[in-house]
Every structure is written in C-alpha cells, then in structure tokens.
Amino acid sequence: DTAVSQTPKYLVTQMGNDKSIKCEQNLGHDTMYWYKQDSKKFLKIMFSYNNKELIINETVPNRFSPKSPDKAHLNLHINSLELGDSAVYFCASGDRASYQPQHFGDGTRLSIL
Amino acid sequence: SQKIEQNSEALNIQEGKTATLTCNYTNYSPAYLQWYRQDPGRGPVFLLLIRENEKEKRKERLKVTFDTTLKQSLFHITASQPADSATYLCALDGTNAGKSTFGDGTTLTVKP
C-alpha cells in the first residue's frame, strides 16, 4: 500500500534522449509536486499541481514538462537530456491547505551517460 | 535573497546523548516550519510541524523549537539511538500555501 509511488526507481540513459517518470498517490491529496535533489542533497521544488492545475513552476528549463492527467497522477517528461540533469527526482503529494506536510515517493535516480 | 542554513553538514554523537540540529533562515517570514528525516535511497519522511505562533512542539523523543526573532529552529532528539542516524531536513513554508523551501540537511550519525 505505497502512498506515493514513482517509476522507474533507476533510469540510465544517453545524453539527448527523451524520458518520462511517472508518479501516483493514493492518499486522496489535492496537490502533487516534483522536486530535484542534486549530489549535495539539496532538495529544490520544480513544479506543483493542484487538482490538475499548475500552481508552482520554478525556473526550470522548457525541456521539463509535467503532466497531470488526474489529481492522483503527476508525470514528468524530459526532452533532450543533458549531463546536468543527473539527479534524484522526487514526487510528493499533500493537501494545499496550510500546515499540511508532504508525503514523498522514494525517488527516481536519473543518470545521464 | 531567501536563505536557509542547517548548522553543519554532519553531526556525530554518542548513543544516549541528545542531538541538537539547527535551522537558520534569512529574508523569510515563514508561516510554519517542518522537519523531515531522509534515509539513504529513500524520500524524506515528515516528523514535526511547528507554526509561527508556537514556541515548542514535542513528539516522543523529538522536540522542535521555533524562534521567529532569532529566525531559527532547533530540532532535538533525546536519548539518541543508532537507528536515529539519517539526514534531517528543515523546510519553511510561507504564505504561498504548499510551497516548501528546504534546507540542505544535516547528516546525523549516532555511534553505539
């Protein structure tokens, strides 16, 4: 009964390729997030969707495109992968009302060769 | 610009002692602050939340304080155990509900 699940767990690919990461939450939350954690463990928000509507879009290259088919799913598609995209990508969910914690998936480790 | 700093990258203590982790922030007026635990290869797990009008929060062996004048939160683990070894992250949330800004974490190692 994984609350926030993301696939794949590991993704190794060549520079220039296009790849997708999928995320699903079964907690009934109305908001989902994508974070990037670099090698220094710094966790930085990329996108947030509330009820399928984009509400947070940090300074992220256009090559990254999130898609939310419904409020339980938030996928991340990355075009033309670059070496600097290597990181761990975390999906999270929560309720947008204040004072609510976020629940994280276990991450997708993306390695660009 | 907004900045969040956690006291040190690594903290080593002996089992049974109290671990104290620090989270300092500048150019920020958070509505509340959260602490998360992250184990290697796993996502962060929520531990405690404290609001701007609260001074202290406790949960079992964990205690969080929040001083908005000093712009600082302290996170204490009493009677620490080797199983407490992990990276601890603080996160600040402002009025833009749902947007958390994370610190860079402190890795705690509790030695038996």
B31, B46, B105 member nearest A98 (Cβ): B31
CATH number of the domain to which A93 belongs = 2.60.40.10
- Yes or no, beta carbons of A106 and B44 under 8 Å apart: no
By residue range, what is the domain housing residue A87? 4-112
More confident of the two residues A41 and B39: B39
Query: Is pLDDT of B98 > 70?
Result: no
Is B74 within a domain? yes
Chain B partners of A107 at a C-beta cutoff of 8 Å? Answer: 41-43
Is B2 within a domain? no
From the list B9, A54, B103, the residue with the least C-alpha distance to A64 is A54
User: CA–CA separation, A85 vs A112, rounded Å?
Assistant: 7
For chain B, how many structural domains are there in total?
Answer: 1
pLDDT band (50, 70, 90) for residue B30: confident
Is B108 within a domain? no
Is B44 within a domain? yes
Mutation target for B interface from A30, A38, A99: give the one with most B CBs within 10 A. Answer: A99
Size of interface A-B (CB pairs under 8 A): 60
pLDDT of residue A112: 95
pLDDT band (50, 70, 90) for residue B25: very high
CATH number of the domain to which B25 belongs = 2.60.40.10
Does any CB of chain A come closer than 8 Å to the CB of residue B40?
no
Q: Is A28 exposed, middle or buried (0-12, 13-18, 19+ CB in 10 A)?
A: exposed
Instruction: Answer whether B108's CB lies under 8 Å from B86's CB.
Output: yes
The alpha-carbon gap from B15 to the nearest alpha carbon of chain A, in Å, equals 25
For chain A, how many structural domains are there in total?
Answer: 1
pLDDT tens for the 113 residues of chain A, in order? 679 999 999 999 999 999 999 999 999 999 999 999 988 788 999 999 988 888 888 878 999 999 999 989 999 999 999 999 999 999 999 987 767 789 999 999 999 99
Is B52 within a domain? yes
Is B82 within a domain? yes
pLDDT of residue B73: 96
pLDDT band (50, 70, 90) for residue B20: very high
By residue range, what is the domain housing residue B50? 17-94
pLDDT of residue B97: 54
